[in-house]
């Protein structure tokens, strides 16, 4: 009977611990055709109040910068690099340096050249890190799949 009570307690603790995992960033995706041969994909981060997501342009020695990796495909090729709006740049004591980041929301954009006229799917992954005034969460890696119609 004691083993059953201990097992139930451990199961309860495990479920409660999982429920407390912080996820202050929600990601959404979209694509828009610009022409028969060009499109742009959008990767939007909606960031909870008090948190910030780091830019793609962070110097070594700072937080983990946001990075995008696109899977090779016969349906499209990348045009240039992933662009982002102008970030906020401030000195952060935690890293003892100026860092660039976004609050509330940010949309990253990647232009692509389509190799055919049919639909394509842009796949890949990105890594990012978020902090607030009290803590930084470990970097997270997310896979994505964005249909281009």
Domains in the chain: boundaries: 24-148
Query: What is the pLDDT confidence band of residue 119, given thresholds at 50, 70 and 90?
Result: confident
Contacts of 106 (CB under 8 A, 6+ apart): 44, 45, 47, 53, 84, 85, 87
Across the range 40-62, mean pLDDT stands at: 97
Q: Is the pTM of this model over 0.75?
A: yes
Per-residue model confidence as pLDDT tens digits over 131-145: 999 999 999 999 999
pLDDT of residue 14: 45
Given 2.60.40.1250, 3.40.10.10, 3.40.50.2300, 3.40.50.720, which CATH number is that of 24-148? Answer: 2.60.40.1250
Instruction: Single out the residue of 39, 2, 20 nearest to residue 115, CA to CA.
Output: 39
pLDDT at 20: 65
Q: How confident is the model at residue 118 (pLDDT cuts 50, 70, 90)?
A: confident
End-to-end CA distance of the chain: 59
Res. 123 pLDDT band, cuts 50 70 90: very high
- Whether 16 shows a pLDDT value over 50: the answer reads no
CA 138, CA 149: separation in Å to the nearest integer?
A: 35
How long is the chain? 149
Per-residue pLDDT tens over the stretch 75-93: 999 999 999 999 999 999 9
């Amino acid at each position: 009977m004691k083993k059953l009570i201990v097992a139930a307690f451990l199961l309860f603790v495990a479920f409660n611990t999982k429920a407390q995992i912080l996820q202050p960033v929600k990601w959404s995706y979209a694509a828009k055709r610009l022409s028969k041969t060009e499109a742009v994909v959008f990767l939007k981060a909606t960031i909870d109040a008090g948190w910030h997501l780091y830019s793609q342009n962070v110097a070594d020695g700072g937080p983990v910068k946001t990075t995008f990796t696109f899977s090779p495909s016969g349906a499209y090729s990348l045009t240039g690099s992933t662009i982002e709006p102008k970030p906020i740049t401030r000195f952060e004591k935690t890293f003892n340096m100026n860092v660039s980041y976004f609050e509330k929301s940010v949309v990253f954009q990647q232009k692509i050249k389509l190799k055919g006229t049919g639909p394509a799917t842009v796949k890949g992954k990105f890594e990012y890190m978020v902090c607030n005034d009290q803590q930084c969460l470990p970097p997270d890696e997310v896979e994505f799949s964005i249909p281009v119609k």
